[in-house]
Amino acid sequence: MNEFVMALGWLGLYAPVALGAIGSCMGCGIGGSAAIGAMLDTESGHGRFIGVSLMPSSQVIYGIVIMFSLQRDPMTAEAAGAIFGIGLLAGFAMLYAGIRQGEAIASAINASKAKPEIFGISLAPAAVLEGFAVFALVFALVLSGSIPA
């Protein structure tokens, strides 16, 4: 039983990185696809489309920070359950935020093709999603401080 609990702890340690990377990949892919499509339909502003399509890449960075905050040497059975719970749930938050952020960015890019002057304001939903990912990061950091060493 102790080995199973330890395995869950190790899974929770890596979950924020893995799930954050998946969310970043999917979000950047969604935004990048919209950026490439917009380049075919517009004569200028291509750099801003590509630049903003990279916004979901922050999810994997947050996952790495969470992983380092959860890391315990040595991993103990007492800490493993908390590491599993925090890591897995924070990872799912990063995954979801990355995907939805990519969708919001794709919508902003598509809208700004027809009306370039709304590009900046159309990024507000993606920025709000980034804020939710930061909340998950902060809460994971706070909770990781209460896990026994």
pLDDT score, position 29: 97
Summarize the confidence of residues 15-42 as an average pLDDT: 95
Of 148, 17, 24, 22, the residue nearest 83 (C-alpha): 148
Angle at 111 between CA 92 and CA 103, to 5 degrees: 10
Residue 148 near residue 73, CB atoms below 8 Å: no
> Three-state secondary structure along 111-149?
HHHHCHHHCCHHHHHHHHHHHHHHHHHHHHHHHHCCCCC
The whole-model pTM stands at 0.92
The architecture that CATH gives domain 2-144 is Up-down Bundle (1.20)
pLDDT digits (tens, 9 = 90+) for 68-95: 999 998 899 999 999 999 999 999 999 9
Whether the pLDDT of residue 45 is over 80: the answer is no
Sorted by where each begins, the domain ranges of the chain are 2-144
pLDDT score, position 47: 86
Whether the pLDDT of residue 32 is over 90: the answer is yes
Average pLDDT score over the chain: 95
Measured over the CA atoms of residue 135, residue 137, residue 14 and residue 10, the dihedral's sign is: negative
pLDDT digits (tens, 9 = 90+) for 117-127: 999 999 999 99
Whether the pLDDT of residue 149 is over 80: the answer is no
Whether the pLDDT of residue 66 is over 80: the answer is yes
The DSSP H or E segment spanning 57 is none
Q: Which residue has the higher pLDDT, 99 or 40?
A: 99
Own/partner contacts of 118-124, CB < 8 Å, gap of 24 or more, are: 119/45, 119/48, 123/52
pLDDT score, position 42: 83
Whether the pLDDT of residue 11 is over 80: the answer is yes
pLDDT score, position 7: 95
